[in-house]
Copies of this chain bind each other. A is one copy, B any other.
Amino acid sequence: MTEKNLGIVETKYLTVGNPPDELKLESGEEIGPIKVAYETYGNLNKERSNAVLITHAFSGDAHVAGYHEGDDKPGWWDNMIGPGRAFDTDKYYIICSNVLGGCGGTTGPSSINPKTGKSYGLDFPLVSINDMVNLQSKLIDHLGIEKLLTVAGGSMGGMQALSWLTKHPERIKSAIIIASAIKHSPQQIAFHEVGRVSIVSDPAWNNGDYYGKEVPARGLALARMVGHITYMSDKSMMEKFGRRIRNVKEGHKFNTGFEIENYLHYRGSSFVERFDANSYLYITKAIDCYDASEGKNLCELLQGIKAKVMVLAFKSDWLYPKYQSKEIVKACKVAGIDTTFCEIESTYGHDAFLLETEEETELIKHFLAKVVQNG
C-alpha cells in the first residue's frame, strides 16, 4: 500500500447558533452566531458510518492534513491522514474543526462580537472542553452524521475525545485518547498559569483589548517558550541542542546564545505570528478546569458505555505522564469498556504524539479495523 499526501485541501466554514438558537455553554451563558472552521477529507459512505473526527491540541487548528494552496508546510498531523495512512482517506471520512474560543477560524475572543461590532476580547464567555465538543456535535449534525466511527486526539484533543465518550457516548463507536488526562494535575495547571501570567503581565495585553493595536507579543512569546520546554524531554533537548553555543550579534550581555535559548526565542516569536493571546488564556483555562470525572469516580460516568477505547502514552512525556493515561484506562476497564492501552517508546516528550507517527499508525490501523469489524 502506498501512502500518499492529500494534496491541496481547503478550510470550510459553517455558521451555527444563530439567534434565538444560541449555543448554551456549561457556564449558563449563551453565544451565537458561531462560525466553525473545519476541513474534511475522503468521502462519507452511504451508510454514513465511516466518519472520523480528529480533535486538535491546544495550539492546533482545523488544518490537520494536506496543503493549503501556496503553503510549504502541510497540516499538523499530515503523515497520519491520507490514502493508506493511519486515518485512511480511502476508507474513512475525516473531519477536523477548530475549537470554540480558538483563533484558527472558529469564533473566539478575536472574533467580532455582533452586539458591539468590535472584537469580543474579554467579553467572550469562558468556555469548557465540553462546550467545544458540543459545538463539534453541531458540525457533525450538519454533516448528516449520527454516529462517528471514532474521535481521536492528543493532549487537549484527548480530553475532547474523553468528553465525547462521557457526554455523547451514543454518538461514537470508539475513542482514541492520546497523551492526555482525566484532569490536569497542579503541575500542569502551574505551567499554564505561568503562561497566562506572562500574557496578562504584558502591558500591551491591556485587559484583553489589543485588537487593531500592539499585541502582547512579549507575553505570548514567553508563554510559548515555557510551553515548549514542557513539550520536549530532557533527553530530546540534550540530543537536539546539548550545550552548543551559537553566536548572537545583538542583545544584552546575558545573550551567550546557547542554542536551546535561541530555539525557544524563535518558537516564541513565531508563535506570536499565528496565535491570539486571548485564545491562549481561554483555551488553557478550559483545559485546566476540565475534569472528565466531574469530581466523582470516572468509572461511574462510564457505566454501560458501548464504545471501544484506545489509550496511548509516550515514555518520555513528563507533561502528561503515563500514570494519567493509565487512570483513564483503569476507569474504562472497571466500567467494562473494551479498552486497549499502549505506551510507546520515545524520547520526544509530549511532542511525541505528533512525531511518533509510525507506531501510532500501526496501532490506530489495527484498532480502527477492529471497530469497523465489530460493527
Chain A interface (Cβ < 8 Å from any Cβ of B)? 122, 126, 183-187, 189-191, 193-194, 196-198, 200-203, 207-208, 218-219, 222, 225-226, 229, 232-234, 237-238, 240-243, 252-254, 256, 258-261, 264-265, 268, 281, 285, 288-289, 291, 318, 321
Contacts and interface: CB of A to CB of B under 8 A. Distances in A.
A237 B285 contact: no
Q: A186, A187, A190, A218 — which one has the most chain B CB atoms within 10 A of its CB?
A: A186
A202 B216 CA distance: 12
A253 B242 CA distance: 40
Main secondary structure of the interface of A (DSSP, over half): helix
Contact of A291 (B237, B243, B285): B243
B252 A189 contact: no
A321 B229 contact: no
A17 B309 CA distance: 69
A185 B264 contact: no
Contact of A187 (B218, B226, B237, B268): B237
B256 A285 contact: yes
A202 B201 contact: yes
Contact of A194 (B126, B225, B233, B285): B225
Nearest to A203: B203
Q: A187, A202, A237 — which one has the most chain B CB atoms within 10 A of its CB?
A: A187
Contacts of A226: 194, 226
A138 to B, nearest CB: 25
Contacts of A289: 256
A201 B222 contact: yes
Ranked 4 nearest A-B pairs via Cβ:
A186-B260, A186-B237, A201-B218, A186-B241
Nearest to A244: B186
Contacts of A197: 222, 225, 265, 268
B193 A252 contact: no
A203 B203 CA distance: 9
A259 B193 CA distance: 11
A97 to B, nearest CB: 24
